[in-house]
Structure 1
């Protein structure tokens, strides 16, 4: 391959070469062979140490998550030490902070702690060992701090990519859905970028000091390939922040893949099989390639036809007929590839499945019409057309519906089209849950017309033997409507003319029962989700402190965006 040293090898030699020991002091000769100073074992000292950290943390989280399945849940008993520890864990994964001036909601406290911990570990590993520059240029042209930061960067790379995949091996281990790991993808990429900068500038400083900068730039491919890799890496990190990603997502997504390809190719050449550097590329290729090929094959072997229907309040219903082999669980989502020309065929779009699976039934997707693909589909619906599609999935929490059946009280909170996530879970719980459980469903919509598709779902409850369900609908704009009698069994429904629900009060009321285990399922806009998280975190803290009447308060909050 052009620009690679010949012959191309799997690993470069570990035999020291190029040193003029006669120009070093005895102490300097010893220093370059010590652990954490030896250039020829830097990959073991720094890259493997970073890998061990990631593996240890992922393994610990997986152990805790899997152990939670088997922990005993005593009913009608006060909170014990295990319940209080669970409440502390729940508080950490629930609590968020808001920066109102920037309209920014932080990741949950546990995620921030993990990111800060990774950053502190990385900085300590990179900065704890001195010297940062060799006191004698004969000890090597690679400054120690540049060497170690480079290896840390390479070691982060496979995990950074693994956090981003839809078929997510880390998520399978940790029993979590892929979208919840996106925060770690972005922040590990940011930390990798910082270590890449620390890797770059010491070389520039060192070569200027030695008077070799121009010569090295002209004769060594390491320098210009490093810069070529750093440019798309800068773009990837800078444009992945919410302002650019959310405002121009379709453009961002396409350019993100292009820039990532350029970055990986340039970095591959830059590393040029130094020691074990290419092993990390093979690991990255194995993780990403397996996930990508699996998604592609699974998506292309699941064709279907989407029948489109326009609903009030610029909402669209797509009924997708697929193979009988395709099944899903309530609360899961799919990625749909619409056959609407080469631009849309090249991309997939995520949608929450808004109905429960039934033999021979269609997949129903409710979409809020915005720009791009949903606008085009809305025009097709007005013309009465159908669209060929390929469905990739399902993804998400396959066991969530089953897990909810263990709770005494379940409160569903939906903001607008967030009902697409909560309604199938409600229908499943009413149909399959315990008769003594208490269920409340609260939905806030902008206009009364938005209730049409929600009422369709509630009719699925007819004829079931459910526990009592209280359904409360808030209409934030327009006027209320009266629900037809008999739409759903054993349902108390109240419609509010105006205003928004007091989420904190609803959550406090749900958690007021003595010795009750409460689950709260929420989906809505960012502000809605933040208010829910804040209120639930307060209740979880009360459980941990022994001040609450409830024994357990569990939250599953789904966001509109990732």
Structure 2
């Protein structure tokens, strides 16, 4: 006996030869309408699903071309000294869209950048136009079939679309030159669009059957109805629970249930489609994308980590934890990149991986440093610094208080990072709020290393906003090294203490370690929040050179940075800006801290 919920005989696809019609019950006009493009049930997937895939591929191709042009331009660009030309002004206009952000006070919601909003709105308009443009929505004659045209074209044809944006090793991101977490906004919203079309696919069948008085009979006789409901229920859960109110508060629980619900949804949808026409082909495409990426990640993880890497957990001041992982020499990363870590002995937390920004360089700026070079038979150290909040971070804090303080981990990555070398810009500003310094500190150390390599960059400003006086204690060694390695003209370090009055003795030990160096700068300690918009405007007015800004912090912090940069980009595009180019790269604060009860990366 076969499986009762599948139509037999089970094949890869069903025939496209129309049958089952009684043409004597239809007018010539109705027969013609029956087989016109975008109405013909037998070619519906080709008319709609393939059009959607073609639209997506065209968008990716445009992003690829933009990325290629930007990379070629960056390689050929020369340091300052000239005014912004036509290409520079066009670049500034495009970068305005990637910087500009909006805040909706009523919902306390920070939008994605304007470019992402335009992309999401473009996808939505395309989906709705494709869905609603062709008429009629229902057949004028029931002899033309039981599937209303609007229900047919609203079928679940967007599997590939929303899965393409979901993976860590992301093919779209590779072509577009962006990291996976910045594409999550498209994953979320394309899933919402798929849900909308699923509802439009469902209700016309219900309306038709209620009109004909056959709803109960059809539900009992046809597996399409109950399998459709079996898919719609977990899909509703996936969409509803992904909204910030639920996801933000209970992220650890959300993440585990999200994967379970996604699995149930895909299985139910697979059965619901059976082998109707070529509907299963889209599942094979989804499996090819997701399966190949997952296999690559698993192979890379075990190549880098084998059966597990030894890690040491250390508690730091201001509710911070440092995880030091002894890694093999083959694992390398660029400044600002992040990794996904699985703690194998962390109980329930071992069921999922957790993203952390790497807080040190792949090769140390300190030659032959004991914690970086020649450790444990040729291994090096990968450092992760995180704030204690909840979930895995709380578990690590408890582990740090125990003896021994060792853990066994798997490392997946690295991912992300800054797409352009900051060494090629004339001036670089590194802005961080709180534990966002885990992103900007490696960038600083790389630039410090570059001063001895005669890089283009001549001045770096490292600006950090912290709540308490002792918050920067975990980075004092790196700051001391940086201050000692660069003269007063090349580096400025400013630390703003936002909650308490600044202590004149704060970081005295950092300053004293660098006073012996000739012309060594000292860190400036200030009370109150930094005036980020004024810092950025001042940077854009500084000279005619090329300026880069890398920032990481909480949402209000990045909101000020983004919109100040957007304002300066408009000035450059209009020919009123003084600097030739202003480059911005931001990392979400919530991506460098642990995801105990915090947000998932890149979903805002």
- Do 1:458 and 1:487's aligned partners in 2 also have CA atoms closer than 8 Å? no
Match of 2:465 in 1: 444
Establish whether residue 528 from structure 1 lines up as the match of residue 557 from structure 2: yes
Q: Distance in 1 between matches of 2:63 and 2:314?
A: 43
Q: Is 2:425–2:457's contact at 8 Å kept on the other side of the alignment?
A: no
Indicate yes or no: 2:438 matched with 1:420. Answer: yes
2:150 maps to what in 1?
145
Equivalent residue number for residue 586 of structure 2: 557
Give the C-alpha shift of residue 487 in structure 1: 3.5
Partner residue of 2:538 out of 498, 509, 514: 509
1:333, 1:353 within 8 Å by CA — same for their partners in 2?
yes
Distance 1:111 1:461 in 2: 36
The aligned residue for residue 371 of structure 1 is: 390
Match of 1:386 in 2: 406
User: Counterparts of 1:46 and 1:284 in 2: how far apart (Å)?
Assistant: 17
Cα pair 2:83 2:580 within 8 Å, conserved? yes
In 1, the alpha carbon distance for the partners of 2:326 and 2:227 equals 49
1:404 corresponds in structure 2 to 422
* Correspondence for 2:595: none
**Aligned pair partner of 2:278 in 264, 276, 279:** 276
State the alpha-carbon separation in 2 of the partners of residues 559 and 323 from structure 1. 29
In structure 1, the partner of 2:89 is 84
Q: Structure 2 vs 1, CA of residues 35 and 435 (structure 1 numbering), >3 Å: closer, same or farther?
A: closer
- Once residues 512 and 81 of structure 2 are traced to their aligned partners in structure 1, the CA distance between those partners, rounded to angstroms, is 34
Distance of 1:468 and 1:367 partners within structure 2? 29
In structure 2, the residue matched to 1:335 is 340
Aligned equivalents of 1:398 and 1:438: distance in 2? Answer: 18
Cα contact 1:469–1:492 (8 A) shared by 2:
no
Looking at both structures, which has the greater relative contact order when contacts are Cα pairs under 8 Å and sequence separation is at least 6? 2
Query: Which residue matches 1:495?
Result: 525
Matched, 1:111 2:116: yes
Local SS of the residue matching 2:323: strand
CA distance in 1, matches of 2:266, 2:483: 55
Match for residue 473 of structure 1? Answer: 495
Does the aligned pair in 2 maintain the 1:317–1:366 contact within 8 Å? yes
Cα distance in structure 2, aligned partners of 1:435 and 1:175: 23
Q: Which of 477, 484, 491 is residue 456 of structure 1 equivalent to?
A: 477
How far does residue 435 in structure 1 lie from its aligned partner after superposition? 6.1
Residue 460 of structure 1: how far off its partner (Å): 3.6
**1: CA distance, partners of 2:456 / 2:61:** 38
Q: Which residue does the alignment assign to 1:73?
A: 77
TM value normalised by structure 2: 0.90
Q: Is 388-397 or 89-98 further displaced after alignment?
A: 388-397
CA distance in 2: counterparts of 1:435 and 1:15, whole angstroms: 66
Q: Distance in 1 between matches of 2:255 and 2:168?
A: 14
Q: Distance in 1 between matches of 2:560 and 2:486?
A: 33
Q: Is the 8 A contact 2:84 2:575 kept in 1?
A: yes
1:169 and 1:405 mapped to 2: Cα distance?
27
Following the alignment from structure 1 to structure 2, what is the Cα–Cα distance between the partners of residues 11 and 366? 52
C-alpha spacing 1:300/1:541, structure 2 compared with 1 (3 Å):
same
* Distance apart, 1:339 and its partner CA: 2.2
Structure 1 residues 406-455: Cα deviation after superposition (integer angstroms, max 9, x where no partner): 11111010000000000100110121152652210100111111111121
Q: Which runs of 4+ in 1 moved over 6 A?
A: none
Choose from 11, 14, 20 the match for 2:13. 11
Are the aligned partners of 1:513 and 1:549 in contact in 2 as well (CA < 8 Å)?
Answer: yes
1:299-378 equivalences in 2 (<5 Å): 299-301=301-303, 302=305, 303-358=308-363, 359-360=373-374, 361-378=380-397
1:483 aligns with 2:508: yes
Q: SS of 1:120's equivalent? A: helix
Q: CA distance change for structure 1 residues 83 and 453 in 2, over 3 Å: closer, same or farther?
A: same
Tell me what 1:264 maps to: 266
Change (3 A) 1:198 1:160: same
Q: CA deviation at 1:398?
A: 6.3
| SS at 2:493 equivalent | strand
Q: Which residue number corresponds to residue 181 of structure 1? A: 183
CA drift of 1:4 comes to: 1.1
Deviation at 1:341, TM superposition (A): 4.4
In structure 2, C-alpha distance between the alignment counterparts of 1:501 and 1:513, rounded to whole Å: 18
Structure 1: distance between partners of 2:111 and 2:468: 30
**1:448 counterpart SS class:** coil
- Would you say 1:53 and 2:78 are equivalent positions? no
Aligned residues: 556
Segments of structure 2 that go 5 or more residues without pairing to the other structure are: 364-372, 375-379, 591-600
Counterpart secondary structure, 1:328: coil
Moved more, 135-144 or 434-443: 434-443
Task: State how far apart, in whole Å, the 2-side matches of 1:436 and 1:148 are.
Answer: 55
For 1:265 and 1:373, the matched residues in 2 are separated by 30
Cα distance in 2, alignment partners of residues 169 and 87 from structure 1: 26
Q: Could you say what the CA RMSD is over the residues aligned between the two structures, in angstroms?
A: 1.5
- Closer/same/farther in 2, CA of residues 423 and 395 from structure 1, 3 Å limit: same
**Where does residue 244 of structure 1 map in the other structure?**
246
1:33 Cα offset (Å): 1.2
TM-score w.r.t. length of structure 1: 0.96
SS at match of 1:511: helix
Find the aligned partners of 1:468 and 1:435 in 2 and give their Cα distance: 12
